[in-house]
DNA sequence: CTGTTAGCGCGTTCAG
DNA sequence: CTGAACGCGCTAACAG
């Protein structure tokens, strides 16, 4: 029979700085006199399966209730070859869309007792590769990545069997992993249709980062909507820049103003950053925003509703994306080989309250 | 270490991918015929210190260059009782301020070869406690918390204090850990002074989450600025609500409109969420935003500059806060006992371009 | 039903 | 300069 009079010697022996600290399984075993296995069966809820005596269970539960218990995840990971951690590699966590996606992912992780490791790529290949490596080296079980270029996944392939992988936001072709993206083409099409219903004028599209598939899709949607209203030269209304930031938006709008001899009456920007830059440029030319301008942008900002101008925008369904990402991860973690299938999540068009 | 990173870049530049998974130290030892100790000295850059033969070094480096190497962080953590991970517990990662803070923290972690674990508290005690425990159970070396109430830190006391702790954004009294906050009182004072220079009208302050110290400080700054312009009853211009969200802002503004018999000509909101709700309420009463309104809010949104109204806002210095947080963590990780000192980081007032 | 044992891969120690 | 042996705390297989 077990001896369980060791509490005193235990507290003396262990030179712990925190006698109140939660115990390890071994400490509980020693303190209660049962073996680690017995403790583990009880604390992991397998007591019934192994028919642990009720009295034993109660003693152990009482001890845990009083002293607390914390499993050592490093040891657990080492033994199970599994970290219960998910990595998230995104261009920029301060970007509202990615921030929102992070929040949704974190929520889903919490429910599955996973932790979320974050790393930013700044949309550049080298930091991205380092970020991916840094997470893979921690033995993450799953990885979500918004790739900055088509071959970003190359670094992953040697880890294929150890880590589930899903791509997000950037649906580059020929990527051997599932991809979850918004329906950018449909969103752009619907957005432009709504804007065309507002005004007969052609839409000038200020477009950054055209190498990204999400942007190509938006361009395709723009072209389709233009074709529908009989605009035969949509590309004459497209203005491109490579970098997606505020300064580029301002430069591009300044260029548009010079080209057109004035601010276009209706324009669309490929991102909020571009939008902000464009507005800055317009304001610096006119001293203010002419209220007659009709504005469109991808991404959402709650203050859009309060601009003096009529404006249209697209809000992606971050929660829907996160849920789909998680399902893809789960499928791979359950042993399915990763497929290259693409999941397209509808986005939401926001327009002025009284717009058609 | 530096040498290892060089190899990574090289292999990326050549576009070469490792055919198989990277090797562990033991695998390299077996493959090259040397012992694990020797391998470790070479790959951790201690070869010179232990005078490893050059030929041996070259063989090992060649093998690593070809096959790759990844240390098992679980084993490393288990042995070193250290995870090289930092936890971040914030109310909401989608909130622009916290998103920006996360981005800055992630950047600093990257530079120190740490990973960042994120967990959200939703500003509620129970999810917060669970988030903290979830991270502590992973053996994080450092923890940054934006606490939702004064005793949020209590759960830390009962834990093994292997973990450095710093509080952020919420400077509750009597917390036995360093705290980093923005200078909310000064920011509120400066903000209100700027608004008073714009208009002689009193400022109505729509204020949420008044139980938070950051909000108390903002109220104090508001009162000080009111006193300076001879307003003897600033509290008659304060409207309070407990929940900080858009709906509360709308409700509170509706209440203000009813109380005042109209929209106050100058008002200030304690957060962007409140601000958005307030604007919604104003618009639903008038069908639009009267352009004569003078607006103020804490937090920053890039579109504020393009509202028809003259507006004033406060942007916190997220990077400065992150840097200070990191310094506090580093001090504790170097063995210093945590102090209760408070670090106050100045914020930045944004006003209309031509404002005094 | 309960206890014992053998690693997971790394970092450290110590012997050569 | 190199190698062997130990243990971090946990899990799983096996032995009573």
Across the interface, whether the CB atoms of A22 and B102 are under 8 A apart is answered no
Q: Residue B294 and residue B278: Cα distance in Å, rounded?
A: 13
Across the interface, whether the CB atoms of B119 and A110 are under 8 A apart is answered yes
Across the interface, whether the CB atoms of A118 and B118 are under 8 A apart is answered yes
Write out pLDDT tens, residues B135-165: 998 989 999 999 999 999 988 876 656 789 9
Give the torsion through C-alpha atoms of B159, B163, B166, B171, to 10 deg.
10
Q: Quick one: tokens of B238?
A: 């304060």
Distance in angstroms: CA B35, C1' C15? 15
**Which one of A101, A108, A138 would you mutate to disrupt binding with B, by most B Cβ within 10 Å of its Cβ?**
A138
Across the interface, whether the CB atoms of A68 and B158 are under 8 A apart is answered yes
Write out pLDDT tens, residues B258-305: 999 999 999 999 999 999 999 999 999 988 899 999 999 999 999 999
Looking at the DSSP assignment, which residues form a beta bridge with residue B269? B206, B297
DSSP H or E run through A168:
strand A164-168
A154 touches chain B (CB under 8 A): yes
Across the interface, whether the CB atoms of A96 and B96 are under 8 A apart is answered yes
How much is the pLDDT for B14? Answer: 31
Q: Residue B90 and residue B120: Cα distance in Å, rounded?
A: 5
Residue with tokens 């600025």: B225
- Please answer whether residues A117 and A87 qualify as being in contact, where contact means their C-beta atoms are separated by less than 8 angstroms: yes
| B105 contacts on A by Cβ (under 8 Å) | none
- Please answer whether residues A238 and A208 qualify as being in contact, where contact means their C-beta atoms are separated by less than 8 angstroms: no
Average pLDDT over residues B212-221: 97
Nucleotides, chain D, CB distance < 7 Å: 1-5, 7-14
C6 closest protein residue (CA to C1') = A79
- Please write down the HEC assignment for all residues of B255-303: HHHHHHCCCCCEEEECCHHHHHHHHHHHHHHHCCCCCCCEEEEEECCHH
D1 closest protein residue (CA to C1') = B52
Task: Flag residues 121-140 of B with CB < 7 Å from strand C.
Answer: none
D3 closest protein residue (CA to C1') = B35
Distance in angstroms: CA B159, C1' C1? 33
How much is the pLDDT for A20? Answer: 67
Q: In what order do the strands lie in the sheet with B294-298?
A: B238-241, B204-208, B266-269, B294-298, B310-315, B348-350
How much is the pLDDT for B6? Answer: 35
Residue that wins the pLDDT comparison between A192 and B3: A192
The A residues from 280 to 319 touching B (CB cutoff 8 Å) are 280, 283, 289, 291, 301-308
Give the closest nucleotide to A76 (alpha carbon vs C1'). D10
- Measured between its terminal Cα atoms, the distance across chain A in Å is 81
Percent residues over pLDDT 90 in chain A: 67
User: How many A×B Cβ pairs under 8 Å?
Assistant: 189
pLDDT in tens, chain A (356 residues): 233 333 333 333 333 345 566 777 777 777 787 877 887 788 777 777 777 777 888 888 888 878 778 888 888 888 888 899 999 999 999 999 999 999 999 999 999 999 999 999 999 999 999 999 999 989 899 999 999 999 999 888 766 567 899 999 999 999 999 999 999 999 999 999 999 999 999 999 999 999 999 999 999 999 999 999 999 888 999 999 999 999 999 999 999 999 999 999 999 999 999 999 999 999 999 888 999 999 999 999 999 999 999 999 999 999 999 999 999 999 988 878 889 999 999 999 999 988 77
Q: Read off the pLDDT band of B20 (50, 70, 90).
A: low
DSSP H or E run through B90:
strand B85-90
Q: Residue A300 and residue A298: Cα distance in Å, rounded?
A: 7
Across the interface, whether the CB atoms of B17 and A158 are under 8 A apart is answered yes
Looking at the DSSP assignment, which residues form a beta bridge with residue A87? A117, A143
Task: Flag residues 51-70 of A with CB < 7 Å from strand C.
Answer: 51-53, 56
Query: C-alpha distances in angstroms, B13 versus A126, A155, A175, B8, B10?
Result: 9, 12, 20, 9, 5
Q: Residue A253 and residue A266: Cα distance in Å, rounded?
A: 12
D7 closest protein residue (CA to C1') = B79
Q: Left, alpha or beta for A149 (phi > 0: left; psi -120 to 50: alpha)?
A: beta
Average pLDDT over residues B222-233: 94
Q: Left, alpha or beta for A296 (phi > 0: left; psi -120 to 50: alpha)?
A: beta
Separation of CA B248 from chain center: 24
How much is the pLDDT for A38? Answer: 83
Distance (Å) from the alpha carbon of B236 to chain A's nearest alpha carbon: 28
Average pLDDT over residues B225-247: 94
Pairing mode of beta strands A238-241, A85-90: unpaired
| A303 contacts on B by Cβ (under 8 Å) | 276, 279, 301, 303-304, 307
Nucleotides, chain C, CB distance < 7 Å: 1-5, 7-14
Residue B4 CB lies within 7 Å of the nucleic strand C: no
Residue B76 CB lies within 7 Å of the nucleic strand C: yes
Does the pTM of the predicted model rise above 0.75?
Answer: yes
């Amino acid at each position: 029979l077990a001896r369980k009079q060791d509490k005193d010697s235990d507290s003396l022996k262990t030179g712990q700085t925190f006698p109140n600290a939660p115990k390890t399984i071994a400490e509980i075993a020693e303190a209660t006199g049962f073996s680690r296995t017995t403790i583990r069966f009880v604390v992991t809820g397998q007591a019934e399966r192994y028919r642990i005596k009720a009295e034993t269970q109660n003693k152990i539960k009482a001890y845990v209730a009083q002293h607390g218990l914390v499993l050592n995840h490093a040891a657990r990971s080492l033994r199970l070859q599994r970290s219960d951690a998910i990595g998230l590699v995104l261009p920029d966590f301060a970007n509202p869309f990615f921030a929102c996606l992070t929040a949704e992912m974190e929520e889903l992780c919490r429910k599955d007792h996973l932790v979320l490791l974050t790393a930013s790529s700044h949309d550049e290949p080298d930091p991205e590769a380092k970020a991916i490596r840094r997470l893979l080296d921690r033995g993450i079980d799953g990885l979500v990545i918004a790739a900055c270029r088509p071959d970003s996944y190359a670094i992953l392939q040697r880890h294929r069997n150890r880590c589930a992988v899903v791509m997000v936001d950037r649906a580059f072709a020929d990527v051997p992993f599932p991809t979850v993206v918004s329906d950018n083409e449909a969103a752009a099409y619907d957005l432009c249709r709504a804007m065309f219903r507002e005004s007969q004028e052609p839409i000038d599209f200020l477009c950054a980062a055209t190498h990204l598939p999400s942007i190509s899709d938006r361009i395709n949607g723009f072209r389709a909507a233009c074709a529908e209203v009989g605009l035969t030269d949509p590309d004459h209304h497209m203005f491109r820049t490579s970098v997606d930031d505020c300064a580029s938006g301002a430069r591009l709008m300044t260029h548009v103003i010079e080209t057109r001899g004035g601010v276009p009456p209706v324009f669309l920007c490929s991102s909020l950053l571009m939008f902000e830059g464009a507005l800055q440029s317009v304001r610096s030319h006119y001293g203010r925003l002419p209220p007659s301008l009709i504005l469109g942008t991808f991404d959402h900002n709650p203050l859009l509703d309060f601009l003096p101008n009529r404006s249209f925008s697209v809000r992606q369904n971050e929660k829907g994306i996160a849920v789909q990402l998680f399902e893809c991860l789960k499928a791979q973690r359950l042993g399915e080989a990763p497929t290259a299938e693409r999941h397209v999540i509808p986005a939401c068009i926001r327009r002025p309250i009284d717009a058609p």
